[in-house]
């Protein structure tokens, strides 16, 4: 990497190899989360798309209230998406949403555990809070997971994500500062308190908040450009710095590129860089969730909903890509791995470039992540190979339940889809809504 490259100019925070810990699985993440909450002395800032009203969610909220009762001076803030917190689960009918539960728990506990709802757009369809990374004292617990039974492996089922614990006061301070700036205003109401403002009354404030978020970046005091470092990145909307960095990472690949995503629907600018990487001889590996490992998957014998067609749409995208790149597949330059641990789901995302860069992110590498949602990432830059063993161990763990796709035909055909899925997708194509739907997913 030359000093004038865009990656070299990114402000990074120096970190030692032993300060970055890879947690092996969801159960390990759950234990680390509760241990950190129990031992917190100054601050707890939990950030996720949602904190669900279920057994695991109740355990998280109980742990926060216990910590507050034991240490009243502890500053505790939970940040979730405003609209996601005020509706029920998709396909579950009319429900009061998690906000009603937050309020009931506050009345029961009588303690101040602030839960803020952040609206990224005036409607959930057009953008959600996809920010990742919780801070407890000087530790950053970074994962794409939210808080519920399956993400925390509370019972038999788990949803595989990536889990990293970074011990860095500078990184923790930088991430907390951004969260504080986001919730500093009347567009991010307290959801644990009654009388949450109606979304219509917040529209003007939400638009102003989104404009303010577009200007936000992580501040790094004493940035470094050499040695092992972590670079925090933030982005919202088209043309943001995070999007350009993602593409720059793929562009920087010379020997090896690994792309991991549960939903194969890359935006054009990222797909272009992947094609160019293949053209210049880079070994490219895609790790993608099998349709049955998709969190939207519904078995054919169960009631059909529009969201149940999404896993098949992603599979169609991957099949089309495999057909276009069949020569790279045949010569072993392109590797496609499908993750499938029956009964469980897949939610891991990230980039690994050569033996140097590792990107932790909640970004799904799709048009929605590039254009609508509030996203962030942590880029680990390891120019001297100080952190290669944990990096490789994590990749090996992700590959554990994968199968190699040797030909596009291994992914089946559109005609194999259940009849209701075929009918729904055919209607999308006839009405020319498919490109629009792909941009919203």
The one catalytic residue among 116, 130, 164, 290: 130
The one catalytic residue among 290, 347, 401, 417: 347
Is-catalytic flag, 326? no
- Residue 234: in which H helix or E strand, if any? strand 229-236
Is-catalytic flag, 290? no
Sign of CA dihedral 417, 341, 156, 350: negative
Query: CA-CA distance, 103 to 93, in Å (whole number)?
Result: 21
**Cβ 420 vs Cβ 306: under 8 Å:** no
First to last CA, the chain: 34
| DSSP conformation class of 75 | E
Which parts of 113-202 fold into alpha helices (H)? 169-183
| DSSP conformation class of 413 | -
The one catalytic residue among 54, 81, 161, 315: 161
Query: CA-CA distance, 34 to 260, in Å (whole number)?
Result: 28
353-356: list long-range contacts, CB under 8 Å, 24+ apart: 353/249, 353/250, 353/252, 353/253, 353/256, 353/257, 353/258, 354/252, 354/253, 354/254, 354/255, 354/256, 354/257, 355/255, 355/256, 355/382, 355/385, 355/388, 356/1, 356/381, 356/382, 356/383, 356/385
Q: Which residues contact 266 (CB under 8 A, 6 or more apart)?
A: 274, 365, 366
Is-catalytic flag, 417? no
Q: Which residues pair with 287 in a beta bridge?
A: 260, 337
C-alpha torsion 377→382→387→389, nearest 10: 90
**Cβ 308 vs Cβ 121: under 8 Å:** no
The one catalytic residue among 375, 381, 382, 394: 375
Q: Which residues contact 83 (CB under 8 A, 6 or more apart)?
A: 117, 119, 123, 124, 128, 199
Query: CA-CA distance, 177 to 185, in Å (whole number)?
Result: 14
Is-catalytic flag, 130? yes
Which parts of 154-237 fold into alpha helices (H)? 169-183, 203-215
Tell me which residues are annotated as active site.
130, 161, 347, 375
């Amino acid at each position: 990497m030359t000093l004038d490259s865009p990656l070299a100019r990114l402000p990074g925070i120096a970190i030692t190899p032993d300060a970055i810990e890879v947690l092996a699985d969801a159960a390990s993440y759950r234990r680390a989360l509760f241990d950190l909450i129990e031992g917190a002395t100054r601050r707890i800032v939990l950030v996720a798309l949602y904190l669900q009203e279920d057994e695991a969610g109740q355990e998280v909220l109980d742990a926060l209230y216990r910590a507050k009762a034991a240490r009243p001076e502890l500053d505790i803030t939970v940040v979730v998406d405003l609209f996601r917190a005020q509706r029920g689960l998709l396909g579950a009918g009319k429900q009061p949403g998690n906000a009603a539960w937050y309020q009931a728990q506050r009345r029961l506990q009588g303690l101040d555990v602030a839960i803020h709802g952040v609206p990224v757009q005036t409607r959930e369809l057009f953008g959600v809070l996809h920010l990742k990374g919780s801070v407890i004292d000087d530790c950053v617990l970074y994962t794409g997971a939210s808080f519920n039974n399956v993400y925390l492996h509370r019972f038999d089922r788990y949803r595989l994500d990536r889990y990293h614990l970074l011990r860095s006061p500078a990184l923790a301070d930088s991430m907390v500062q951004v969260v504080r700036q986001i919730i500093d205003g009347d567009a991010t109401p307290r959801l644990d308190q009654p009388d949450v403002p109606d979304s219509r009354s917040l529209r003007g404030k939400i638009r102003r908040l989104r404009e303010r978020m577009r200007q936000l970046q992580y501040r790094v005091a004493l940035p470094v450009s050499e040695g092992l470092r972590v670079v925090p990145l933030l982005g919202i909307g088209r043309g943001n710095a995070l999007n350009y960095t993602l593409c720059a990472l793929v562009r920087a690949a010379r020997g090896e590129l690994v792309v991991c995503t549960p939903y194969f629907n890359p935006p054009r600018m990222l797909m272009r860089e992947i094609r160019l990487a293949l053209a210049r001889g880079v070994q490219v590996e895609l790790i993608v969730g099998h349709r049955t490992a998709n969190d939207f998957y519904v078995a054919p014998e169960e009631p059909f909903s529009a969201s149940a067609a999404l896993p098949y749409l992603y599979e169609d995208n991957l099949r089309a890509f495999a057909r276009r790149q069949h020569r790279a597949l045949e010569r072993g330059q392109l590797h496609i791995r499908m993750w499938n641990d029956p009964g469980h789901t897949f939610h891991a995302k990230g980039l690994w470039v050569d033996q140097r860069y590792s990107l932790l992110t909640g970004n799904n590498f799709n048009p929605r992540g590039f254009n609508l949602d509030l996203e962030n990432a942590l880029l680990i830059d390891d120019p001297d190979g100080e952190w290669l063993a944990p990096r490789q161990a994590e990749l090996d763990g992700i590959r554990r339940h994968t199968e190699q796709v040797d030909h596009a035909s291994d992914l089946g055909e559109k005609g194999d889809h259940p009849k209701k899925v075929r009918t729904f997708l055919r209607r999308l194509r006839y009405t020319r809504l498919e490109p629009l739907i792909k941009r919203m997913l």
